[in-house]
Amino acid sequence: MGQYQDLVDKQRTLLLAEEWAKTVKGLHVHSLDSMWYDDRPQDTADGKFVTDISFNSGLTERTLENGTKVYFGEVLKGDELLWAYEKSN
């Protein structure tokens, strides 16, 4: 059974990384149009505010003043997720 220990350990770490990916990395309420990930400057035009929530998964969720949600980024999966998780811990 010892020949599978590496696979079991990797799966265990992947499950932990998937939970970690759901947690909030940062929260930013702003009216800036210069965020590095922002390709929607119209969201903050004329002084409108937005709320950006960044997750460890790489996803950023933006909530506009009217409640509409917009998403930025790509969700990390597989080995990329494991790498990011291990780097942060």
* Residue range 27-54, pLDDT digits in tens: 999 999 888 888 999 999 999 999 999 9
**% of residues, the chain, pLDDT over 90:** 88
Q: Per the structure block, which two tokens stand in for 7?
A: 């696979």
Tokens 């409108």, residue located: 48
**Which residues span the domain enclosing 54?**
2-88
Q: Where would I find the beta strands (DSSP E) of the chain?
A: 24-30, 50-55, 60-63, 69-72
- How does strand 24-30 pair with strand 50-55? antiparallel
- How does strand 60-63 pair with strand 69-72? antiparallel
Position 1 scores a pLDDT of 57
pTM: 0.87
Q: How far apart are CA 24 and CA 58, in angstroms?
A: 10
Three-state DSSP class for residue 72: strand
The number of folded domains in the chain is: 1
